[in-house]
Structure 1
Amino acid sequence: MVVFACERCGAVLTTQVSRVALPDHADQTYSHELLPAFLEPGTYAVNPEPSGPPWRLWDEVGTEEVEARGIYAPVYSLSYGPAGKIGIAPGDVRGTVLIPERCDGYCYGVDGRDGPNLACAECGRAVATRIDDCSLWQVVWLAPHAVRPVSVDGPADRVIAWEALREQYPDLPPVEQRGWWSPQWEATVAVALAHLLSLSGGMRVVVPDGPVATVFRRALDALLPPGPPERHLTLAGPSLPAVATDIALVPRHPQTGETWPCNAKAVVPLAANAWLHMAFHDDRRLTPATAGMLEEVRRDDPPPLLPAMPFRPDLDVFLATLARLPATREPWLRQIYDHVKAHRYDFPYF
């Protein structure tokens, strides 16, 4: 475990934290409401992408430079700010004070538009940006050039084994109160959908009935031509039977970010908490009992939350992911990217 300290004076700025993989909803904006913390207490994640000013418009940057940055389709602008910002839960921050003149926001809180808004309480150096406005996940982003990690005594970080993932890591229910789909599901499925399209080769992808079909089938059927030829997507991972398939939907480790290894021709990683729910949640509807029930009978009390509308992956997360996949240079996939981007409000599956 580590704490992060001010690079200038050495003052400790966080509690003890352990590194986890960067979640798929790192850059997501959602609805017009206050969202919870982006990360669990006691954890931190690193975003390898540049962030913040200065910005350059797409037309100002040459194709060669853009592709060197890992972007293969047009985006509005590119950040030339520092890479490697460090996200932590707001409650894990210590020894900082707000910079009042940098605390602007849109509605309910601050959104970081003015740059770092937290300073080291000891020396006054700007060290982090707190974000807690509506539509944004609440997080503190430590500036990579202003802090440094310091190892501390304590229990060693223990990586969950793949075989123990089901018992030791919680799954993520797809539906929230009032029948709304989880924004985290909308983001992680959008990322997986972009990777799945890039691996399809432009052929129809057949998905199994159940939760995989619920979140993938409508978009795949609309974006890809009807088969044959076709490819088959199968759920695979620890504690599931080994299968031979064209494309396997597998978990991404929540701590290391590694993809579960398998022998499929191609793999699409999915956030572990969503994958666990797809793989092991029993979503069969139960029939009311008219007599007494044995204790070992599976019960449905309270009843499960059901979605009020069809599932829609997050459009912005989908386009941002697709723009960073080299396969998007292929004409058929670039056509999908351009069409979805140009008609973003015309598609019922987004």
Structure 2
Amino acid sequence: MAVFVCARCDAVLTAPVSEVALPAHAHHSFGHDMLPPLMEPGTYAVDPEPHGPPWKPWSEIGEDEAAARGVFARARRFHSLPCGASGAVAVAPGDTRAMVLIPERCDGYCLGLDGRDGPNLACARCGRPVATRVDDCSLWQVVWLAPDAVRRLPVEGPADRILDWETLAQERRSTPPVEQLGYWNPQWEAAVGVALAHVLVASGGAPLAVPGGLLADTFGRALDALLPKGPPAKRLALAGPGLPGTDADIVLVPLHPQTGQAWQPRPPSVGVPLAAGVWMHLAFPQEQVPPIPVTGGLPDGFLRDDPLPLRPQWLFRADARVLLGTLARLPAVREPWLRGIFDRVDGQGYARPF
């Protein structure tokens, strides 16, 4: 366990928190509603990429500078690059302590704060800007601690226990793909967008065979649209703890929810990391269990239809911004065949090719 304190005056700025992997949807926006917190209570995650302002327009950035910042392609919908410090720390808003808003930095797009002006929270003791609260509509609610304004201090408390893969497979903590009213879970749209970029790279531009079911619904349609037509040259499958072995060329493997490390497949399969909650549901689909009376049981042949199983209202689409943002940070995007896919997705706008 740890707390974060002000680097100037040592005021404690958070409740005790444990480190977990940064969620795939950390910088994903969705709809025009108020979204829940990005982080679970009592947790924090570190963003390894540059984060937040100052923002540098693409017109001032050449290919060499962009590559030095880890960006190898420019999407037309991305107008600038974040040039803030890397290592920002994400915590749930409810886990913050001893911070006050900076009124002149509390701008937003619609219903809340979007962090466009930089740190908007100051240490209540010394007044130093230390964090940025984000809670506008379409954005996951989070407080980003500025890495140069805070320090991490260990505290007494329960030791962080890193669960092994076998335990995680037994617990099967999955993220449901469909929400109420038939909306696809936006966490799935972001997680599949990240993994889809890596699957494209691993494919080498060759057609892929994808098993039927939910895997085909979430990955198969996009791959069919983006890769060339023809007999599949490679196969995509799931691999990981609790599953039988596979000799598929490309395998989707889980990311450890605490460490962020990917489960390692057996060679020669190429592993593509996928958010653990999404992977768990694909690997171990959760069957809907009909309600059972507290006493007695259901008569033979009787099946309740309340509540009805959740079904999506439309076909699944991975988030295009997440897909493009992930591809842009992979050096392979400079290869002509993959850059062609990048430009196709970028040019379609909301009419995505999948």
Secondary structure of 2:49's match? strand
Give distance in 2, aligned partners of 1:140 and 1:334. Answer: 35
Q: Which residue of 1 aligns with 2:68?
A: 68
Q: Which residue of 1 aligns with 2:32?
A: 32
Q: Where does structure 1 lack aligned partners over 5 or more consecutive residues?
A: none
Give distance in 1, aligned partners of 2:351 and 2:2. Answer: 47
Amino acid at match of 1:268: V
Paired-residue identity, %: 59
Q: Which residue of 2 aligns with 1:328?
A: 333
Structure 1 residues 298 and 195 mapped into 2: Cα distance closer, same or farther (>3 Å)? Answer: farther
Give distance in 2, aligned partners of 1:311 and 1:45. Answer: 28
Secondary structure of 2:152's match? strand
Q: Where does structure 2 lack aligned partners over 5 or more consecutive residues?
A: 291-297
Q: 2:105 aligns with which of 90, 102, 110?
A: 102
Structure 1 residues 18 and 77 mapped into 2: Cα distance closer, same or farther (>3 Å)? Answer: same
Secondary structure of 1:86's match? strand
Q: Which residue of 2 aligns with 1:7?
A: 7
Deviates most, 162-171 or 32-41: 162-171
Give distance in 2, aligned partners of 1:344 and 1:229. Answer: 28
Shift of 1:191: 0.5
Deviates most, 328-337 or 54-63: 54-63
Maintained 8 Å contact 2:43/2:91: yes
Give distance in 2, aligned partners of 1:275 and 1:73. Answer: 28
TM-score normalised by L of structure 2: 0.92
Shift of 1:303: 2.6
Shift of 1:127: 0.7
Structure 1 residues 226 and 114 mapped into 2: Cα distance closer, same or farther (>3 Å)? Answer: same
Structure 1 residues 229 and 169 mapped into 2: Cα distance closer, same or farther (>3 Å)? Answer: closer
Give distance in 2, aligned partners of 1:272 and 1:112. Answer: 28
Q: Kindly report which structure 2 residues correspond to 1:37-116, keeping only aligned pairs within 5 A, or say none.
A: 37-75=37-75, 76-116=79-119
Q: Which residue of 2 aligns with 1:159?
A: 162
Shift of 1:285: 11
- How many residue pairs are counted as aligned between the two chains? 343
Q: Deviations over 1:270-319 (max 9, x none)?
A: 00000001111145999xxxx8139xx99765232110100011010010
Give distance in 1, aligned partners of 2:303 and 2:170. Answer: 19
Matched, 1:309 2:311: no
Shift of 1:145: 0.7
Give distance in 2, aligned partners of 1:261 and 1:342. Answer: 35
Q: Deviations over 1:317-343 (max 9, x none)?
A: 010001111111110000110121112
Q: Kindly report which structure 2 residues correspond to 1:1-350, keeping only aligned pairs within 5 A, or say none.
A: 1-75=1-75, 76-168=79-171, 170-263=173-266, 264-282=268-286, 292-293=299-300, 301-347=306-352, 349=354
TM-score normalised by L of structure 1: 0.93
Runs of 4+ in 1 over 4 A off after TM superposition: 282-286, 297-301
Amino acid at match of 1:44: Y
Give distance in 1, aligned partners of 2:338 and 2:303. Answer: 45
Give distance in 1, aligned partners of 2:328 and 2:308. Answer: 40
Secondary structure of 1:249's match? strand
Amino acid at match of 2:299: G
Shift of 1:66: 1.7
Secondary structure of 2:87's match? strand
